[in-house]
């Protein structure tokens, strides 16, 4: 039994993948706490899907795919905020418009690049191909996001719990929301390598939803969420190592859902 766990560790790609999972799983779960508590799951879906045209565009232009992904995600957040600032368009539909427009643009660009197969990893994730450069990008984004969440903890918590009181104290809830969207954009960039543009949102929502069932304070929610993400990530990696028919991204998301279901069934009623 122990052999089954230890044996893959002799492969460098597997160790890199585990490290990437720990970093981005923790990042996404901590950010996800606010995404879930503030009901921003749909916005986070839009941001993660909009990475597609960013990466494809950057590859066509010969730029760094991470840069393209970040720019596209920020563009989506700004676009949705701008559309929703006009009367007559709810934020929900503004996000829906941006999501579908960006994703369609991504598909059009992929046709332009004339090769769908190259982008399968982008859509569905390929954690086994994480290189040391990817690891560096993931590490830096994780550091920025976690540092941001730490220093702005009380402002983010206050603005998420009681927006009116936050503005009464001058804590700028609208600014906090914008900061959170930027952090979510950064976090999705860190995850896209692991689970792909289509499933990144799962890493934001599923672990944090587990955390909300188990935690009684925001840091507790984040800790439970990070634990769930790391557990699910490890499970998914081992699963796809021993059953190569299961793609790693899908395996990770499926394994994250297990702790959620367990918590859903057995967590004490709140």
Partner 1 sequence: MSRIISALSRHLGEVAFSILPAIPYAPNEPNRCPGIAVSAKQLTAAARLDGPVAFHDATFEIPCGCRTALIGPNGSGKSTLLRVLAGLTPIRSGEVLVAGESPRLGRSRLAYLAQRPHLTELFPLKLRRLLQMGTYAHHGWFEECRHGDEVIDRALTRLGLADLAERPVHTLSGGQLQRALIARAVVQGAEILLLDEPYAALDQPSREIIDRFLFEEGSAFTVVMATHDPADLGRFDRILEMRDGTVSTRHACSGHDHRHA
> What is the binding site for partner 1 (CB under 8 A)?
37-38, 151-155, 157-158, 160-165, 167-171, 212, 215-218, 220-221, 270
Which of 197, 17, 215 has its CA nearest to residue 103? 197
Give the whole-angstrom CA distance, residue 23 versus residue 234. Answer: 12
Q: How far is the CB of 161 from partner 1 (least distance, A)?
A: 5
Other beta carbons within 10 angstroms of residue 235's beta carbon come to: 18
> In the complex, what is the shortest distance from the CB of residue 265 to partner 1, in angstroms, rounded to a whole number?
18
Smallest separation, CB 219 to partner 1 (Å) = 9
| All residues at 6 or more sequence positions from 259 whose CB lies less than 8 Å from its CB, including other chains | 207, 210, 227, 228, 231, 232
**CA-CA distance, 49 to 36, in Å (whole number)?**
18
| CA–CA distance, 252 with 233 (Å, rounded to integer) | 5
Query: How big is the chain by its Cα radius of gyration, in Å?
Result: 18
Task: Burial-class residue 2 by CB neighbours within 10 Å (0-12, 13-18, 19+).
Answer: exposed
Least Cβ distance, residue 61 to partner 1 (angstroms): 37
Helix (H, G, I), strand (E, B) or coil at 54: helix
Name the minimum Å distance from CB 189 to partner 1. Answer: 24
Shortest distance (Å) from residue 102 CB to partner 1: 28
């Amino acid at each position: 039994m122990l052999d089954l766990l230890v044996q893959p560790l002799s492969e460098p790609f597997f160790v890199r993948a585990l490290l990437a999972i720990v970093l981005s799983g923790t990042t996404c779960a901590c950010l996800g706490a606010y995404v879930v508590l503030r009901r921003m799951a749909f916005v986070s879906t839009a941001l993660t899907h909009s990475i597609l045209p960013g990466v494809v565009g950057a590859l066509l232009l010969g730029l760094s795919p991470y840069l393209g992904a970040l720019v596209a995600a920020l563009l989506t957040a700004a676009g949705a905020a701008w559309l929703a600032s006009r009367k007559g368009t709810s934020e929900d539909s503004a996000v829906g418009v941006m999501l579908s427009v960006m994703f369609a643009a991504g598909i059009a660009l992929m046709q332009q690049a004339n090769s769908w197969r190259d982008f399968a990893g982008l859509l569905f994730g390929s954690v086994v191909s994480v290189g040391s450069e990817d690891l560096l990008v993931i590490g830096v984004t994780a550091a920025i996001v976690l540092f941001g969440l730490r220093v702005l903890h009380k402002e983010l918590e206050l603005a998420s719990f009681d927006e009116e009181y936050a503005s009464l104290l001058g804590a700028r809830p609208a600014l906090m929301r914008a900061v959170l969207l930027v952090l979510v954009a950064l976090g999705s960039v860190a995850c896209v390598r692991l689970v792909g543009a289509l499933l990144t949102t799962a890493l934001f929502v599923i672990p944090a939803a587990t955390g909300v069932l188990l935690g009684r304070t925001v840091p507790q929610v984040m800790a439970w969420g990070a634990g769930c993400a790391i557990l699910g990530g490890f499970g998914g990696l081992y699963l796809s190592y021993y059953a190569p028919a299961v793609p790693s991204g899908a395996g990770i998301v499926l394994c994250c859902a297990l702790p959620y279901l367990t918590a859903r069934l057995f967590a004490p009623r709140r």
